[in-house]
């Protein structure tokens, strides 16, 4: 089955006086492949690191213009949750993704979306089949996760089943659309079922596509949650590609994002106490702190300490 | 297959001094069945018609307190798009609905949602099979709609196919979850596939459920679009049940909603001209107006006039 | 008092393959003066008319690509409230405006804002004094409007008072900031009051400034309400300048906006009935229709008819 | 000047089966005074701690119903940024506050607001004059803050000036509204200036009032930023009263909020390194870490350590 992609007319070179990111221009419109049939590509963007600084300085007025370097200001803004200057940048993606991934994605409401409509058009025969090494068993520690073990023989059978069912369902989908009536062992073509009904028989691993536009602040919020190891693998790798795009687009913001968001750690009131006591070489008695066993374990791992 | 519904502990009678709608209290928590397995029930609400008036009067100050009756004020606010007082009321539903309906629904972003997670729990064997009279063919006038005709024999075969496939896929789903390995023509149970992967093999006609909370202004926006005849039947009937709930909850607002929203008609600049000319008994020459054939036809139908 | 404007470094010419509006590029960064000290200027934008079409076609899929011209599609989308494709364009303004105008403006929540902070920096001595022909009396028909009459002598005194008070209050503001203590009829300079407190003594006609970023759909919603004759004059003229910018930026959308939004008219259920009856040459008896005197009067004016 | 408050008719006792907080019912509608003329009062609410649990369990499905206690689940949700269940509760306040406080407040966009309109009604003669101990000088360490020192004599003069100017401006406001013409040293009453213009002459320390409705998640976001010591005092004390209301309304959530939000501390990537090295008794050389002097100082204070 040949991939059919909605073609976006490649824009010619224009002259502009808008803030322009030359690194991002280089990959504009280019498809970055993800999973077996998915992709991300950047369609448009507004602003650069400098636009954040510019917006912040309106909010601070003139006095501080020379006081701070751009990098320092961006780090200060991000670490102190002054989020509005980051909302001044915007990016627009064209994304092809399995429907079950789209269902998680859309829960982030502060973005603009235009999705391909299967009421309006027929879906392509493109579905997601996990690679062998992604076919994990239910995690025993994480109620919503997967482990990386599964009997190989069973994994192969599972993969085959997903492949076979997905193909069979597409045949049925087409027969429904074409009104193929099974008449004495022969198909007779007639008036078919409405697209808006036929589509409901396809499984959640089929691909859809959309335009997704978001401001930089909300993009980083999305990435913090979805490029995280607790996110489902199939959305995680989309998020990871977007982190790479972030790095090209706004390198100073990307650096601050890594330091103050994705690699940061939030200490609760009780965790603060325990770390403080440990730093003061006090003897730690776990039961003196209002922390669950999971929270205590997490502290031990994060700080490489032993709490007895 | 017995329906398993997440039970909501029925709250005992409480005393409250909050604004209370006695008509809505009567149906609180009760399931209103929709489609073959779906339902809506009201879980909670905030405010009544009087709360809208009250909020509006804060913004208008004391001077006007006696100037308007509640009903008149609500009609004035709604017809003049003073939307903020309607945002002061809120309602929370528990809804069970097919996934393809949920996908349309969620596009209304100004609401709060908690959905049942199939990463976390196993889905029930509940799927939507359209009634015979809903199995329509693709509409020839509406690219996203269905007509109400279809060869009965084909419709029956389509219905059977949807039923059979949905059942087969649930069996496969359970086998994937349970690690049932087909070994020499016999199943051997082992460690199963993670829930977050197994669920991706189910089709879009399976039911999901969620809590959905929305303010009155955004609810009416949703209802205007989804209780409309252009909406897909399967979301329309949810919306229609909600219109009935609206009527119980805020009867004055409901009445204004019917008059100024759902049964209103927006005349474009050019349509205004044509109606005005017609009222002045001028001879109408269609080509003098910047209207598409579809727009002209719509005017003829709406106003029961002939434009030659 | 010389105007001090936060300077935005004019970006050099860049090459870009992004969608580019050459008409908008010509006025980028340029201040369009409004009122006595205010202005609007476009700082950045994303997308053109073509971007709307492009986004809509992802949602419609490939099938319809040749069926519609861009103009027709944009008109169809706008008139049928398919709003999401218009959310795919974005524009960013730098605006200087009186605080009381900013207070109305900010009620439109679906936008991004960075305001000049008077906690952080000292405000300039710039305040709004209405022109003589703007000094109207309270409207007798519109509880929130002004008429265009006022005794000229009184208007002049009012204008003088506003000027004088605004100047006096700025002197006091500076004295508070500088800690000028009146000691035996002479000022002694000392440690001054914190900016965040001193600013609270200035009146609402002082100017503030902000960056305001909004998508095209929400911009049109703002313009429909604020470029309307019922809006306060001082916000109306900002909106009117923005309508001119809209025309340069997205000419096809602008045209559809005029036809289907700003010059359209919404007929309620009852108003529909009356127009229909009138078109059928029925005798109209006002009391047969559930319309208020104001609604009846509005119909008479809009359609140039007589309802007896 | 006697305080005039928009009276809200006290609702009688109703019976309800909605989730009800008996502690919050006790203070419903009651004014909690703030500053010299301001107040907060709770007008309505939806949901309790149990509603959060209930909503979360829909999202988790049935499986976990007995696994966790309510308290543990709420703490888990809050600490892991599962924010949607908290959006299922809603609260509505009636608030009287100085305009400059309202201007900061409104920047939180995810809330519903109905404000008293000074285009529509005349403002009361109520303005904010800071207490002597609040009249601080500009902070030298915080560009947007105040210190707690100021020459007492100057502070008294500042206070008198604010009082005197506020009164004088209200007289002028009334004269503008009443058309009082100063004619040869005598006032002649005539047609006055429109309210929408007259109001622009009043200073930012005048009181306004509004209904403000927000969900629990966004309320906590507001409180984390505004009940913080870096917020301006005059908004902080509103936020502090709301934290007390939070405690009455949803005690389990309040407790988790204190532990995981308001009293928590976010360690950046580099700060993590330094704490970890310190815990491992490594010798710390400040310059080895990518932290600003301010960040290093903050760490020393927070953890009571010495970094040389």
Select from B137, B139, B202 the Cβ nearest to the Cβ of A203.
Answer: B202
User: Measured between CB atoms, does C190 come within 8 Å of chain D?
Assistant: yes
The alpha-helical segments, DSSP class H, found in A26-68 are 49-60
Find the CATH number of the domain harbouring C234. Answer: 3.30.1360.170
Q: Are residues A220 and A83 in the same domain?
A: yes
In tens, the pLDDT along C232-281 reads: 999 999 999 999 999 999 999 999 999 999 989 999 999 999 999 999 99
- ipTM of the predicted structure? 0.92
Q: Are residues C273 and C197 in the same domain?
A: no
| Residue B185 confidence class, pLDDT cut points 50, 70, 90 | confident
Chains contacting C (3+ CB pairs below 8 angstroms): A, B, D
Q: What is the mean pLDDT of residues A183-188?
A: 84
Q: What is the mean pLDDT of residues A144-166?
A: 93
In tens, the pLDDT along A76-108 reads: 999 999 999 999 999 999 999 999 999 999 999
pLDDT of residue C296: 93
Q: Are residues B71 and B218 in the same domain?
A: yes
In tens, the pLDDT along B54-101 reads: 999 886 654 444 445 789 899 999 998 999 999 999 999 999 999 999
Chains contacting B (3+ CB pairs below 8 angstroms): A, C, D
Interface of B with A in 195-254 (CB under 8 A): 195-197, 199-205, 232
Q: How many CA atoms lie within 13 A of D302 on its CB side?
A: 20
- A3 lies in a domain? no
Q: Are residues B95 and B43 in the same domain?
A: yes
Residue of C226, C261, C294, C297 marked catalytic? C226
Chain D residues within an 8 Å CB radius of B56: 114
Q: Are residues C156 and C199 in the same domain?
A: yes
How far is D173 from chain B, CA to nearest CA, in Å?
17
Q: Which helix (H) or strand (E) holds D179?
A: none
- Please check whether residue C35 is in contact with residue C82, taking contact to mean a CB–CB distance below 8 angstroms: no
Interface contacts (B, D; CB < 8 Å): 187
Q: Are residues A178 and A227 in the same domain?
A: no
Residue D189 has pLDDT above 90, yes or no: no
How far is D51 from chain A, CA to nearest CA, in Å?
20
Angle at which helix C293-303 crosses helix C269-279, to 10 degrees, equals 50
Query: D267–A264: do the CB atoms touch at under 8 Å?
Result: yes
For the ranges B101-105, B144-148, B289-293, D9-13, the maximum mean pLDDT occurs at B101-105
- A63 lies in a domain? yes
pLDDT of residue A181: 85
Q: What percent of chain C has pLDDT over 90?
A: 78
Dihedral through CA A243, CA A248, CA A251, CA A255, nearest 10? 30
User: Measured between CB atoms, does B36 come within 8 Å of chain A?
Assistant: no
Query: A192–B137: do the CB atoms touch at under 8 Å?
Result: yes
| Residue B10 confidence class, pLDDT cut points 50, 70, 90 | low
Q: How many residues are listed for chain A in this entry?
A: 308
Query: D151–C179: do the CB atoms touch at under 8 Å?
Result: yes
Query: D181–C153: do the CB atoms touch at under 8 Å?
Result: yes
Q: Return d(Cα A213, Cα A89) in angstroms, integer.
A: 11
Residue of D226, D261, D294, D297 marked catalytic? D226
In tens, the pLDDT along D263-286 reads: 999 999 999 999 999 999 999 999
How far is B187 from chain A, CA to nearest CA, in Å?
11
- Of B11-20, B211-220, D235-244, minimum mean pLDDT range: B11-20
In tens, the pLDDT along B136-166 reads: 999 888 888 898 889 999 999 999 999 999 9
User: Measured between CB atoms, does B146 come within 8 Å of chain A?
Assistant: yes
| Residue C142 confidence class, pLDDT cut points 50, 70, 90 | confident
pLDDT of residue B64: 45
Query: A304–D276: do the CB atoms touch at under 8 Å?
Result: yes
Q: Are residues C195 and C211 in the same domain?
A: no
Chain B residues within an 8 Å CB radius of A141: none
In tens, the pLDDT along C171-195 reads: 999 999 999 988 878 888 888 999 9
Interface of A with D in 56-85 (CB under 8 A): 60, 63-64, 72, 75, 79, 81, 84
Residue of A41, A75, A199, A226 marked catalytic? A226
Interface of A with B in 149-178 (CB under 8 A): 149-151, 153-154, 157-158, 161-162, 165-166, 169, 172, 176-177
- Of A107-121, A130-144, B58-72, D276-290, minimum mean pLDDT range: B58-72
Give C77's DSSP letter. H
- A7 lies in a domain? no
Which of B214, B234, B265, B249 shows the shortest CA–CA distance to B92?
B214
How far is C51 from chain B, CA to nearest CA, in Å?
20
Query: D279–A276: do the CB atoms touch at under 8 Å?
Result: no
Instruction: Show the domain range for B285.
Output: 269-303
Select from D8, D19, D43 the Cβ nearest to the Cβ of B11.
Answer: D19
| Residue D60 confidence class, pLDDT cut points 50, 70, 90 | low
Q: What percent of chain A has pLDDT over 70?
A: 93
Residue B3 has pLDDT above 70, yes or no: no
pLDDT of residue A2: 46
Q: What is the mean pLDDT of residues C303-308?
A: 88
Q: Are residues C49 and C124 in the same domain?
A: yes
Q: Are residues A181 and A212 in the same domain?
A: no
- A135 lies in a domain? no
Query: C162–D192: do the CB atoms touch at under 8 Å?
Result: no
- B152 lies in a domain? yes
| Residue B1 confidence class, pLDDT cut points 50, 70, 90 | very low
Chain D nearest-CA residue for C140: D194
Query: C61–A25: do the CB atoms touch at under 8 Å?
Result: no
Query: D268–A260: do the CB atoms touch at under 8 Å?
Result: yes
pLDDT of residue C60: 63
User: What's the whole-number average pLDDT of chain D?
Assistant: 91
Active site residue D261: no
Q: What is the mean pLDDT of residues D33-41?
A: 97
In DSSP terms, B39 is beta-bridged to B33, B96
- Please check whether residue B100 is in contact with residue B202, taking contact to mean a CB–CB distance below 8 angstroms: no
> Which pTM was predicted?
0.94
Q: What is the mean pLDDT of residues C59-73?
A: 64
User: What's the whole-number average pLDDT of chain A?
Assistant: 91
pLDDT of residue D22: 95
Residue of B41, B75, B199, B226 marked catalytic? B226
Interface of C with B in 268-287 (CB under 8 A): 268-270, 272, 275-276, 278-280
* Count of domains observed in chain C: 3
Chain A residues within an 8 Å CB radius of C211: 54-55, 58-59, 88
- D221 lies in a domain? yes
In tens, the pLDDT along D11-25 reads: 578 999 999 999 999
- Please check whether residue D91 is in contact with residue D45, taking contact to mean a CB–CB distance below 8 angstroms: yes
Select from C144, C157, C165 the Cβ nearest to the Cβ of D181.
Answer: C157
How far is B103 from chain C, CA to nearest CA, in Å?
14
Residue B18 has pLDDT above 80, yes or no: yes
Query: D302–A272: do the CB atoms touch at under 8 Å?
Result: yes
φ and ψ at residue C78, rounded to 5 degrees: -70, -40
DSSP helix, strand, coil percent of chain D (3-state; round to 5): 45, 15, 35
SS (H, E, C) B253-288: HHHHHHHHHHCCEEECHHHHHHHHHHHCCCCCCHHH
| Residue C63 confidence class, pLDDT cut points 50, 70, 90 | very low
In tens, the pLDDT along D69-97 reads: 789 899 999 999 999 999 999 999 999 99
Q: Are residues A109 and A257 in the same domain?
A: yes
In tens, the pLDDT along A4-61 reads: 444 555 557 899 999 999 999 999 999 999 999 999 999 999 999 999 999 998 866 6
- Please check whether residue A236 is in contact with residue D267, taking contact to mean a CB–CB distance below 8 angstroms: no
- Please check whether residue D295 is in contact with residue D273, taking contact to mean a CB–CB distance below 8 angstroms: no
Give the residue from A158, A187, A204 where a domain finishes.
Answer: A204
Which of B245, B216, B197 shows the shortest CA–CA distance to B95?
B245
Q: Return d(Cα A164, Cα B281) in angstroms, integer.
A: 67
The alpha-helical segments, DSSP class H, found in D93-212 are 99-105, 152-178, 195-198
- D151 lies in a domain? no
Select from B44, B113, B118 the Cβ nearest to the Cβ of D84.
Answer: B113
- A6 lies in a domain? no
Q: Are residues D259 and D281 in the same domain?
A: no
In tens, the pLDDT along D215-249 reads: 999 999 999 999 998 999 999 999 999 999 999 99
Sign of CA dihedral B58, B64, B68, B72: negative
Q: What is the mean pLDDT of residues C296-306?
A: 92
Give the residue from B154, B169, B204 where a domain finishes.
Answer: B204
Chains contacting A (3+ CB pairs below 8 angstroms): B, C, D
Q: Are residues D230 and D290 in the same domain?
A: no
In tens, the pLDDT along C44-53 reads: 999 999 999 9
Chain D residues within an 8 Å CB radius of B8: 54
Chain C nearest-CA residue for D235: C196
Chain C nearest-CA residue for A209: C58
Chain A residues within an 8 Å CB radius of B147: 194
Sign of CA dihedral B234, B240, B245, B246: positive
Query: C279–B81: do the CB atoms touch at under 8 Å?
Result: no
């Amino acid at each position: 089955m040949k991939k059919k992609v909605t073609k976006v007319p490649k824009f010619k070179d224009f002259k502009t006086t808008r803030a322009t990111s030359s690194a991002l221009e280089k990959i504009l419109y280019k498809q970055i492949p993800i999973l077996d049939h998915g992709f991300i590509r950047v369609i448009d963007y507004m602003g650069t690191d400098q636009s954040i600084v510019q917006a912040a300085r309106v909010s601070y007025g003139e006095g501080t213009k020379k006081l701070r370097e751009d990098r320092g200001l961006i780090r200060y803004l991000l670490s102190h949750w002054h989020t509005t200057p980051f909302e001044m940048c915007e990016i627009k993606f064209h994304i092809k993704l399995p429907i079950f991934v789209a269902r998680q994605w859309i829960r982030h409401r502060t973005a603009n979306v235009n999705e391909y409509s299967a009421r309006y058009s027929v879906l392509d025969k493109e579905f997601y089949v996990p690679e062998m090494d992604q076919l994990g068993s239910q995690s025993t520690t994480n109620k919503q996760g997967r482990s990386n073990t599964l009997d190989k023989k069973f994994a192969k059978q599972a993969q085959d089943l997903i492949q076979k069912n997905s193909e069979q369902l597409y045949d049925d989908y087409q027969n429904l659309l074409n009104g193929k009536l099974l008449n004495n062992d022969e198909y007779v073509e007639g008036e078919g079922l409405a697209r808006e009904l036929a589509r409901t028989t396809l499984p959640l691993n089929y691909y859809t596509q959309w335009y997704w536009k978001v401001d930089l602040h909300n993009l980083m919020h999305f990435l913090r949650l979805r490029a995280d190891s607790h996110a489902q693998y199939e959305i995680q790798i989309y998020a990871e590609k977007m982190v790479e795009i972030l790095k090209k687009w706004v390198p100073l913001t990307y650096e601050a994002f890594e330091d103050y968001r994705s690699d940061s750690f939030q200490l609760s009131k009780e965790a603060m106490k325990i770390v403080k006591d440990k730093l003061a070489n006090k003897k730690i008695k776990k039961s003196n702190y209002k922390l669950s066993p999971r929270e205590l374990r997490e502290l031990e791992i994060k700080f490489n300490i032993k709490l007895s």
